Amino acid sequence: MSLIKMLVCGLSLLVSVSVLADDVCSARSETQSIDSCYAKLKNDSEKRLNDEYSALRIRIAENYSTDKDMSERYSTKLLSAQRGWLTYRDQQCAMESLFADSGSQANAMLVNKCIYRINEQRIKEMQSLPY
Domain boundaries 29-128, CATH class? mainly alpha
Read off the pTM.
0.78
Residue 31's pLDDT is: 73
Residue 2's pLDDT is: 52
In angstroms, the CA 105 to CA 37 distance is 13
Helix count and strand count (H, E) for the chain = 4, 0
Sort 51 into a burial class: Cβ within 10 Å, 0-12 / 13-18 / 19+.
Answer: exposed
Q: Which residues contact 130 (CB under 8 A, 6 or more apart)?
A: none
Longest dimension (CA), the chain: 68
- Domain ranges, ordered by start, for the chain: 29-128
Residue 114's pLDDT is: 97
pLDDT along the chain (131 residues), means of 10: 41 36 70 88 98 96 95 96 98 96 93 97 95 79
